[in-house]
Amino acid sequence: MLIAVAGLVLDQVTKAMAVAWLDPMNPPRILGGLVTFQLIRNPGAAFSMGENATVMFAALAVVMLVVVVVWLAPKVTTRAWAVATGLGIAGIAGNLTDRLVRPPGIMHGHVVDFIELPYFAIVNVADICLTSAAVTIVVLSLIVGRKGDRTAADASEESAPVQPDA
């Protein structure tokens, strides 16, 4: 749970800082322009798709958060899967929090995005957590295999009890 809480807190703190400090008309650029801090409020999903479906995205996020926390997280047995699960929870909860508490209102709130990557998208910490979770899950799935074959890393974790840190 630690990773989920840390990710959610980092997401919400960075969004509050972005809203307080960033001027949408004068976005700062860092790393030679590789990253721009461009503040936007996104009513839709990735790449601003589905701008008229904010309520649907919020409802879907509630369902996904419940599924992950109630059904998936209790089944986690290794640190690697705990990290992936924690990142997923942080990402879902971070953007859901925006949908619930930000203007224009409950279930209609716009997600704060502020990290602009060149030729790609404007994202936030919750999006980074979700993407990292997805990549980690794919890698773990490829390593573990279809039959649940364990990796050497998973086997070495067997000797030490896993504390739920997602």
**Residues 7-33, buried b or exposed e (16+ Cβ, 10 A)?**
bbebbbebbeebeeebeeeeeeeeeee
Q: Which amino acid is at 108?
A: H
Q: Which of 75, 70, 69, 91 is nearest to 136 (CA)?
A: 91
Q: Is 23 a catalytic residue?
A: no
**127 in active site:** yes
DSSP count for the chain of H helices, then E strands: 5, 4
* CA-CA-CA-CA dihedral for 160, 151, 126, 21, to nearest 10: 70
In the set 98, 113, 149, 165, the catalytic residue is 113
Residues 11, 23, 98, 127: which is the catalytic one?
127
Question: Residue 134 is inside which H or E element, if any?
Answer: helix 125-144
Give the Cα-Cα-Cα angle 46, 49, 52 (nearest 5 degrees): 125
List the catalytic residues. Answer: 113, 127
